[in-house]
Amino acid sequence: MSSEQTLFLGLLAFRVINALILQTSFVPDEYWQSIEVAHNMAFSYGAKTWEWRHGLRGYLYPLIFAIPYKILGILGLDNRIVLIKLPLLIQAVFAALADVYLYKLSSKLSGVRVGRWSLLCQLTSWFTFYCAPRTLTNSLETALTTIAMHHFPWPGYSRKAHWKYLVLVGVAVVIRPTAAIVWIPMVLWHLRMYFHCFWDVFRLYVEKGFLILAVSSIIDRYFYGKWVYVHLNFLEFNVFSGLGSFYGTHPWHWYLSQGLAVILGIQLFPFVLAVKNGLQPTFIKIIAWTVAVYSCLGHKEFRFIFPILPLAMHLSGLYLALLLDVSSWLPCSKSSFFVTILIAGNLPLALYTSLIHQRGTLDVMRFIYEESSRNASLSVVSLMPCHSTPHHGYLHRNISLRFLTCEPNLDLVANYTDESDVFYEDPVAWLNKTYATSSLPSHIVMFDVLLPRVSDFISRNSYEKCAEFFHSHFPRGSSWRLRSGLLFEGVEVVVEI
């Protein structure tokens, strides 16, 4: 076995453990845009959010999970835990590949020693640990971007096989159109480098682009039942119409003032010094460009800039390797000093976010699953900010689940308020109205801050608390419409008696 294969197996073992450690939720999309849809594709039940009803998302990504789901279903091995863990393990494979290719890329550009330091920065990165095995298109986009960077025809290195990088970039863009942002400067650079044979390279782009688009369109044609231009719809919604701002806006400098610092963690220091010293200018330019473009979009999230994190890890590794060469002030074993700092600076945050922060919304799903084993005619309503908990994909049981919706104003109705807003305006009035005609749910799930506001409805209909779960030490801010003075946030379940 070659040393590269050994390295891959070691990294795979690391990411598999990484994936199995995750006990917390990060963002709703990791369930609602992936495994929930895959569950629907394989088992014919599972919710589809408005993005799927309006053709904004492609089926290629959930298909990665729907195929194994279907096979497990046919073999009768579709156990709940298997269905929850398998997608994480699939993502772990992508994450391990990204680690290997970051090491190869870094070694190719700056030598094996830098490669090792970059890999160490990547493996200790708390945000990569927290995010890479999650079923998010951002995680796959990050892995594909890193692998494609390695296959990019860097000047001075092997010139063959341009198509490998093109296919990887094409797939990344098809899965998440915003991947194009990172790649626009690289593609232009590629075309300029090969200007002498422009038409040959251009033809390659058209060929591969057409092929990938055709495959993804056929998959969408099959699952939507008609031709849908998901990428155009996605761009129109997120970039041109500004409706994306429905999900919150941040100041333009958010990535610079918080976003980058948070996802880089302690690697921020070597990264900033590498940028200051202008090491590897190409990567600095890509990172600057990507952050600048994302800063112009109203809706900002940490995970959006995840694809540039491995590049930043290369810069950090480069700086650390350089520092080891020149510094004399450190104790004799300089490298173990840096290794210790990297691990000690990241491990607490990685474990805290992966094991403790925001775990209640997953624990409550296990509780509901256990309840539904006792009584299959359970009906659950979740009075939480929309998409707070996973859905059928996390139960693998077709019980009645209802949640407050929060669809953006797609039809441009005047004075539009979504269901969540109407609910939080006056919870009891909403409950009175909704359950005036239909029968009451058997279980209500909510965050503890809501309980006092609905206690009137709860006691009048004789519900009692049957479970509570710890969720977070940091109750969500106003963007989640649940500002509270409580130090701990919990999830409560009440049951009708």
Ligand X SMILES: *[C@@H]1O[C@H](CO)[C@@H](O)[C@H](O)[C@H]1NC(C)=O
Q: Minimum CB separation from ligand X for residue 275, in Å?
A: 49
Nearer to ligand X, 434 or 484 (CB): 434
Alpha-carbon span 87 to 20, nearest angstrom: 11
Q: Minimum CB separation from ligand X for residue 432, in Å?
A: 4
Q: What residue is closest to ligand X based on CB? A: 442
Tokens linked to 388? 């707070």
Residue pointed to by tokens 């775990």: 359
Counting contacts by CB under 6 A, is residue 415 touching ligand X?
Answer: yes
Q: Minimum CB separation from ligand X for residue 135, in Å?
A: 22
Could you say which residues in the range 212-251 bind ligand X, by CB under 6 A?
Answer: none
Q: Minimum CB separation from ligand X for residue 39, in Å?
A: 10
Nearer to ligand X, 326 or 497 (CB): 497
Q: In what order do the strands lie in the sheet with 443-447?
A: 400-403, 379-383, 443-447, 489-496, 463-472
Amino acid making up residue 411: D
Q: With CB under 6 A as the contact rule, which of the stretches 283-291, 297-305, 313-321, 426-434 interacts with ligand X?
A: 426-434
Q: Minimum CB separation from ligand X for residue 430, in Å?
A: 9
Nearer to ligand X, 421 or 426 (CB): 426
Nearer to ligand X, 12 or 47 (CB): 47
The CA distances from residue 411 to 243, 249, 415, 455, in Å, are 11, 21, 12, 35
Query: Which one of residues 277, 336, 409, 432 is an interface residue with ligand X (CB under 6 A)?
Result: 432
Burial classification of residue 233, based on how many CB atoms lie within 10 Å of its CB (0-12 exposed, 13-18 middle, 19 or more buried)? middle
Nearer to ligand X, 96 or 446 (CB): 446
Kindly determine how many residues on this chain lie close enough to bind ligand X according to the rule CB under 6 A: 13
Query: Which one of residues 13, 74, 197, 429 is an interface residue with ligand X (CB under 6 A)?
Result: 429
Amino acid making up residue 165: Y
Bin 47: left if φ > 0, else alpha if -120 < ψ < 50, else beta. Answer: beta
Nearer to ligand X, 53 or 253 (CB): 53
Nearer to ligand X, 288 or 376 (CB): 376
Tokens linked to 73? 């279903």
Q: Minimum CB separation from ligand X for residue 400, in Å?
A: 6
Amino acid making up residue 144: L
Phi, psi of 333 (to 5 degrees): -90, 80
Q: Minimum CB separation from ligand X for residue 410, in Å?
A: 17
Nearer to ligand X, 72 or 428 (CB): 428
Could you say which residues in the range 337-376 bind ligand X, by CB under 6 A?
Answer: 375
Counting contacts by CB under 6 A, is residue 417 touching ligand X?
Answer: no
Burial classification of residue 157, based on how many CB atoms lie within 10 Å of its CB (0-12 exposed, 13-18 middle, 19 or more buried)? exposed
Q: Minimum CB separation from ligand X for residue 442, in Å?
A: 3
Residues near 5 by beta carbon (within 8 Å), at least 6 away in sequence? none
Counting contacts by CB under 6 A, is residue 377 touching ligand X?
Answer: yes
Q: Minimum CB separation from ligand X for residue 482, in Å?
A: 19
Tokens linked to 457? 């409805």
Could you say which residues in the range 33-52 bind ligand X, by CB under 6 A?
Answer: 44-45
Nearer to ligand X, 158 or 415 (CB): 415
Query: Which one of residues 398, 409, 417, 459 is an interface residue with ligand X (CB under 6 A)?
Result: 398
* Closest by CA position to 34, among listed 76, 64, 62, 6: 62
Query: Which one of residues 1, 75, 412, 414 is an interface residue with ligand X (CB under 6 A)?
Result: 414
Q: Minimum CB separation from ligand X for residue 429, in Å?
A: 4
Counting contacts by CB under 6 A, is residue 462 touching ligand X?
Answer: no
H/E element, 350:
helix 334-355
Can you list the alpha helix ranges (DSSP code H) found in 125-259? 126-131, 137-151, 162-175, 179-193, 198-224, 230-235, 254
Nearer to ligand X, 42 or 275 (CB): 42
The per-type count for the chain, helices as H runs and strands as E runs, is 23, 5
Alpha-carbon span 368 to 23, nearest angstrom: 17
Query: Which one of residues 265, 442, 446, 492 is an interface residue with ligand X (CB under 6 A)?
Result: 442
H/E element, 272:
helix 268-276
Nearer to ligand X, 108 or 453 (CB): 453
Q: Minimum CB separation from ligand X for residue 428, in Å?
A: 4
Alpha-carbon span 302 to 52, nearest angstrom: 24
Q: Minimum CB separation from ligand X for residue 44, in Å?
A: 4
Q: Which one-letter DSSP state was computed for residue 25? A: -
Count the alpha carbons within 13 Å of 419 in the hemisphere toward its beta carbon. 15
Q: How many CB atoms lie within 10 A of CB 469?
A: 18
**CA angle 290–294–298, rounded 5-degree value:** 175
Q: With CB under 6 A as the contact rule, which of the stretches 207-215, 266-274, 278-286, 421-429 interacts with ligand X?
A: 421-429
Counting contacts by CB under 6 A, is residue 437 touching ligand X?
Answer: no
Alpha-carbon span 253 to 271, nearest angstrom: 18
Query: Which one of residues 21, 428, 451, 466 is an interface residue with ligand X (CB under 6 A)?
Result: 428
Chain positions contacting ligand X, by CB under 6 A: 44-45, 375, 377-378, 398, 414-415, 426, 428-429, 432, 442
